[in-house]
Structure 1
């Protein structure tokens, strides 16, 4: 199957491109800078690269006219700044316009479980003329994922001081390969058209529990203090300058720690019972072994 993907700055998007290529699909990726892509994905995977910008200039060209399925990965790290949502919609609209010159019928929109703007996206996609599926992903466990970067950075500190939400907010981490398995099955499944699916792992836990279990698996010991009264700016400063998170990781840390990332629309479990989800312990062990 011929698959078009955009949003390759996204960790998951790059890994999905590789997974689909290894499954035998013909994968083409739209990205602004091919050098950036090849920093993360070796050329050996045979993925076709198209350079283009969904925000500037003419519509991207060069899409394979026989493209059957397309992925759009939302790259906005947070929902709190309206302009980010507006920019994402502009990019999505231009992507859909470019796909109209192909045989594409199915667009899979992939975003974060924290995304509160799905209704706006669905309203647009419903008018686009393309069948669509929206997939919201919880925290991913894999080498280089945001959650693994957060956990490993915290583990390097002698004393971990975090907002009280760290001990209260819940997450549902999922193995990277399980996400790949779900998205691969959605490709050709008309039963997913027009629907929203949440994707998460088999276990729900607080971030504090996730960190403590990570420490057990990594055979490390740290004292964790969850303090009340830490504002968002203070939490950001902790993440950016004390724990040395990258900018996107610091943003994610500040937002995700303050809300539950637990699945609601769990239809994929019923649709694809053959996908056996890895436990949190197995997911973390696999990610650490790949480091």
Structure 2
């Protein structure tokens, strides 16, 4: 199968490209820096920019299935960009006769009170759904891995602050997923015909709190942290506090933290594990792998 990965040089994209190539697919890796990346043998780089239509000629030519992994959180106008880029890709994929598109989105926890970040993800889902192909949406909370922006925030905090005064939402439930498991799910849906047109949640088998995530991350590095929740600290205020505590770009950190006010756990009725079972990694093991890199 000829498979296109849009956003191939990102944290998830590079791993997905390698796994698809290893599985025997003919892979096209698309990004602005695709030509500068050392891809596995047989992977076809396609260097272009969804913001520049002139660079996209032939992007979906001969493509059977495509993964859409574009998120523009570093830009102040990320929602507008993501809307425009998704519409451009949708039209190109429809014109080329792409059969399937898979989009990696986010679990929200409360569809009635979405953060700007998650509202944008939902909007992109809707834009992509307008194509002639079958769309499959996978929603994840924190993806645990060494280059994950969400996990890097947690990792940086436990490196720099032995005592953390944090918002009360550190005690809200979350259901992270190991990057290896996220890749297994993404690849697995290609062979699961029943996932066409579906929306699914992915996560580990356990539910933790953000506080437990921080404590376990610290412990895996031989550290201890004291976490003091403060009810009056808002997500907006805590996002500015992150300027001092993480190397993750502030627009990204602010967008991600604003999404942490609601529980983000897998809906049992949308759990992809029921359709595409994988041997899931425990949250503790995922953290151990991430901090060892």
Query: Residues 23-48 of structure 1: CA distance to partner in whole angstroms, max 9, x if unpaired?
Result: 2222112212336x62xxx3345432
* 1:150-201 deviation line (CA, Å, top 9, x unaligned): 2221122243424323432221111111111111111233211221111111
CA shift digits 1:62-88 (9 cap, x unpaired): 33632110111140449xx8x533322
2:192 corresponds to which residue?
Answer: 189
| 1:242 paired to 2:238 | no
Query: Which residue pairs with 1:149 in the alignment?
Result: 152
Q: Distance in 2 between matches of 1:187 and 1:267?
A: 16
Mapping of residues 175-254 of structure 1, within 5 Å: 175-247=178-250, 249-254=252-257
| 1:167/1:94 CA distance change after superposition, 3 Å | closer
Q: 1:164 to 1:108 in 2, by over 3 A?
A: same
Q: Which residue of 1 aligns with 2:90?
A: 96
Give the SS at the match of 1:62.
coil
Q: Decide which of 161, 176, 185 is 1:173's aligned counterpart.
A: 176
**For residue 60 of structure 1, what is the aligned residue in structure 2?**
56
Contact 1:154 1:160 in 2 (8 A): no
1:112-127 matches, within 5 Å, as 112-114=106-108, 115-116=118-119, 120-127=123-130
Rounded to whole Å, the distance in 2 between the matches of 1:166 and 1:126 is 32
The residue number in structure 1 matching 2:272 is 268
Where do 4+ consecutive residues of structure 1 move more than 6 Å?
Answer: none
Decide whether the 8 Å contact of 2:140 with 2:176 is kept in 1.
no
Show structure 1 runs of 5+ residues with no match. none
**Equivalent pair of 1:59/1:98 in contact (CA under 8 Å):** no
Which is further off, 196-205 or 210-219? 210-219
Contact 1:69 1:104 in 2 (8 A): yes
**TM superposition shift of 1:121:** 4.2
| 1:3 alignment counterpart | 3
8 Å CA contact retained: 2:138, 2:202:
yes
Is residue 281 from structure 1 mapped to residue 284 from structure 2 by the alignment? Answer: yes
Correspondent of 1:47 among 36, 43, 49: 43
Q: Residue 248 of structure 1: CA displacement?
A: 5.1
Structure 2 gaps of 5+ residues are: 109-117
TM-score, L = length of structure 2 = 0.85
Counterpart pick for 1:84 among 78, 98, 101? 78
Partner of 2:114: none
* RMSD between superposed Cα atoms in Å: 2.5
Deviation of 1:117 after TM superposition, in Å, equals 5.1
Determine whether 1:28 maps to 2:28.
yes
Whether the aligned pair in 2 keeps the contact of 1:239 and 1:253 (CA below 8 Å) is: no
Contact preservation (8 Å) 2:162, 2:224: no
Single out whichever of 42-51 and 169-178 deviates more from structure 2: 42-51
Conserved? CA contact 1:161–1:227, under 8 Å: no
What is the alpha-carbon distance in structure 2 between the residues aligned to residue 279 and residue 43 of structure 1?
Answer: 29
Determine the C-alpha separation between the residues in 2 that align with 1:205 and 1:179.
18
CA distance in structure 2 between the partners assigned to 1:116 and 1:216 by the alignment: 34
TM-score, normalized by length of structure 1?
0.85
Retained in 2: the 8 A contact 1:5–1:27? yes
CA contact (8 A) 1:9 1:75 kept: no
Q: Distance in 2 between matches of 1:98 and 1:10?
A: 21
